Amino acid sequence: MPAQIVIEEEQQQQQPLLHSTTTGGTEEEVVTSSLSNEPDALKRKFIGSNQRLLSIDVFRGLTVAYILMHLLDDFPPYWLIESNGVIKAFPSINHAPWFGVTIADFVMPFFLFGVGVSISLVFKKASSKSLVIKKVVLRTVKLFPLGLFLQGGYFHGRNNLAYGVAVAKIRWLGVLQRISTGYLLATITEIWLVRNVMVDSPTAFVQKYYIQWIVATLLLSLYMCLFYGLYVPNWEFQSPSLTLSTNGPHTQIVHCGVRGSLEPPCNAVGYIDGYFLGEQHLYRHPVYRRTKDCSVNSPDFGPLPPHSPEWCLAPFDPEGILSSLMAVLTCIVGLHFGHILLHHKCQMHRVVLWSMSSFALLFSGFVLQLLGIPFSKPLYTLSYMCITAGASGLFLTIIFYIVDVKHFRKPVVLLHWMGMNALIIYALAACDIFPAAVQGFYWRSPENNLVDGLESLLQSVLHSSKWGTLVFVLLEILFWCLVGGFLHMKGIYIKL
């Protein structure tokens, strides 16, 4: 899931982005983590008590840590907020089957939101817009293929040491591809659509950024028009033979002929992806296979129930084309929070304005679901965008208050280290490159490797597979925090 995108600016542009007044009355420099690769000599030129904006790093580190918790497939409980507002516990840490949100459904928006905040800080001043755009496009071009490599089929991950891909079935979209798209579009709005206005009042703030919000409104309008207005006809797909009593794959027909459906088989999000990307290039294990219609173990994966609908075996991409339009809006919300940070010197003013924006988004999300727009991560509905963006802002506000206002930094130093190199840790750990590489070295049989051996040892010591796995994952998180700390001490920050 997600990445730390660092913009390499010209040497003369590397300067303090913010000046804020501390409680002691002295002026300090607050520098975003996205510029953390500045030379030490340059950092020492800053006046006062050079203070980095550590809360952004901690925010990213917390998100990466939760991604690693997805290894706890059967550890209870996780909480689901259903579309009717009811909160209930599910028996594992996973995404909501279709409607509703769980803690896992906040991970992607948290990363997108953090990307938006960082963009607003990095591009405060750009001496050459065309040069900056070239660098941004270059980094996007690098990040998108990385997503293809990690999630398109080249690398099969832990417990499956094979690699390679059938080109006819490569998955074109994924987590990193969505982040690269949001990064590119949000950066374009920040570079080209922000007016050169001195912000000295709320009116001037609006004048400076209103074009950016007009574009966001147009993106939202495009999504809503296609989502509710596009006619979804009947469609067909090739059903796999291993789950059906047939002699081979055969064509299944899904009967739709509707507009504005939010159900798994007949929504505009899936139809657009199937039309433009092709059925063979979509995600083969969609989350709706854990619904009651498609799993006897719902809300977990399981065998098909008797008389299950034909669409249960159809592919669906949770990072599709249309839903990514709403994901871009999450980045733009992050831009808004970064703009507040830039133009308000008082720390408590920032906290108050961030809190107001966060609660407004949360309130809007719950109102929208009461009006009939349910929470759904696969569809990235408007209510889902609001509630997850609001939660992102609220969590960042809390972390900012604790870390950068009250300076309680030692308790979160591990998350800080992890967040400073979120990209490499995500690629190595969350995408299973490192665990699978370690598993590749074994004694006599593939089961005798360090990864599985340590997990089995903990399970036997604790006499519980669930608690043993929990301790194993916590140790893995600690390991990657220490790796991040080592890279930080060596001055290594991974850039694309």
The per-residue pLDDT for range 38-56, each reduced to its tens digit, is: 333 333 333 233 345 788 8
Domain count, the chain: 1
- Residue type for position 201: S
Distance CA 318, CA 37 (A): 34
Q: Which domain covers residue 169, as residue numbers?
A: 95-230+320-408
This prediction has a pTM of: 0.82
Distances (CA, A) of 466 to 90, 411, 469, 470: 15, 27, 5, 6
Question: Is 442 a member of any domain?
Answer: no
Distance CA 198, CA 342 (A): 12
Question: Is 72 a member of any domain?
Answer: no
Per-residue pLDDT at 344: 86
HSE-up of residue 376 (Cα within 13 Å, Cβ side): 19
Task: In the chain, count H helices and then E strands.
Answer: 15, 9
Distances (CA, A) of 47 to 21, 29, 342, 389: 13, 7, 18, 35
The answer to whether the CB of 417 falls within 8 A of the CB of 482 is yes
Residue ranges in the chain modelled with pLDDT below 70: 1-52, 70-93, 125-127, 152-166, 240-249, 494-496
Rg (CA), the chain: 23
Question: Is 172 a member of any domain?
Answer: yes
Question: Is 6 a member of any domain?
Answer: no
Per-residue pLDDT at 82: 58
Distance CA 358, CA 138 (A): 33
Question: Is 312 a member of any domain?
Answer: no
> Which stretch of DSSP H or E encloses residue 232?
strand 231-232
